[in-house]
Amino acid sequence: MSRRRPLTAAVRTAGVVAGVVGVLVPIAGTVIARRAAALYETPDVEPAPGLEPVSVGGLPGWIRPGGDGTTWTVFLPGLGSHPLRHQDVADAFVDRGDTVLFASHSARYPARRHGFGLREQDEALAWLRFAAARGATEVVLLGWSFGASLWLRLLAGPLPVRVRGVVLTGPLSDWDAAVAHGAGGGPIGRAAAAVTRWTLRVPGLARLAGQAAPVRLQLPVVAAPAPPLLVVHGDADRTVPLDSSRALVASWPGAARLQVVAGAAHGGERDMNPTGWLDAVARAV
């Protein structure tokens, strides 16, 4: 009897620990997923003269005509960023003969949460269909952070126009890496990413995390032949790890190049070196 009591106590303790873990893990995953999907208010931006307002599916966009209308440059912003955040570079692309489209997605305030790109990718595709209907036959895709992740999702499937080149700045190309990075990296960060990924796959927990349906965070693989890719990423990015961009460029099934901007935080790559960013883009596309 004396030998069985310690064993019984150990089993009970293990059961209690397992029960606590079974409760805490889903709670932690839900909290992290909700925070990762949260959207915050951002300052509004006034359209520059010469930009034509358009709308697709109730989402706002702006066009600056250029050239013969067959080649378009399409911008997609990151989370919490206005679609016109980079409107000052429109002239440079119009001078090249491109029509410029500043597109938008629904992952923007006053919406409360985004869908990790699963629902927003259809919005990005709608903009490319809009461009094709207006005469575009080829496009250059420019995306920042979350907007970059939408282009990566679309590039894995058929598109209504030919893609001449892709420029991604601070791209959110790996959700696991971004969640882990935001949680401080290391074992704790990796655990946070694993719990979040699992939580979003469970229907009930996904709803608690603010998602209408289960979410798979992994982006689809872009197959060859892929258009030329330029990735611009700051080495002071505390939101999306630079290593994820290194991995994206290394695995790209086509010509790809990474430009690291010293001292740039997330979303600030072009602000740190506007001329260098534009020169790099011009060479790439």
Tens-place pLDDT, residues 137-191: 999 999 999 999 999 999 999 999 999 999 999 999 999 999 988 888 888 888 8
Q: Tens digit of pLDDT for each residue in 6-31?
A: 544 433 433 333 333 344 567 877 88
Q: Tens digit of pLDDT for each residue in 58-90?
A: 999 999 999 999 999 999 999 989 999 999 999
Q: Are strands 59-64 and 256-261 parallel, antiparallel or unpaired?
A: unpaired
With bands split at pLDDT 50, 70 and 90, how would you rate the model's confidence at 240?
A: very high
Half-sphere exposure of 270 (CA within 13 A, CB side): 19
Q: Are the CB atoms for 125 and 78 separated by under 8 Å?
A: no
Say how far apart CA 145 and CA 168 lie, in whole Å.
8
What's the pLDDT score for residue 19?
Answer: 36
If you average pLDDT over every residue of the chain, what do you get? Answer: 88
What's the pLDDT score for residue 18?
Answer: 34
Residues 117-132 have a mean pLDDT of: 96
Q: Are strands 229-234 and 138-144 parallel, antiparallel or unpaired?
A: unpaired
CATH 3.40.50.2000 fits 45-174+220-284, yes or no: no
Write out the residue limits of the CATH 3.40.50.1820 domain(s) in the chain. 45-174+220-284
End-to-end, the C-alpha distance of the chain in Å comes to 79
SS3 at position 272: helix
Phi, psi of 100, rounded to the nearest 5 degrees: -105, 130
Q: Tens digit of pLDDT for each residue in 267-280?
A: 999 999 888 899 88
What's the pLDDT score for residue 9?
Answer: 43
With bands split at pLDDT 50, 70 and 90, how would you rate the model's confidence at 5?
A: low
Go through the chain and tell me how many residues it has.
285
What's the pLDDT score for residue 29?
Answer: 75
What is the model's pTM?
Answer: 0.89
Q: Are the CB atoms for 225 and 254 separated by under 8 Å?
A: yes
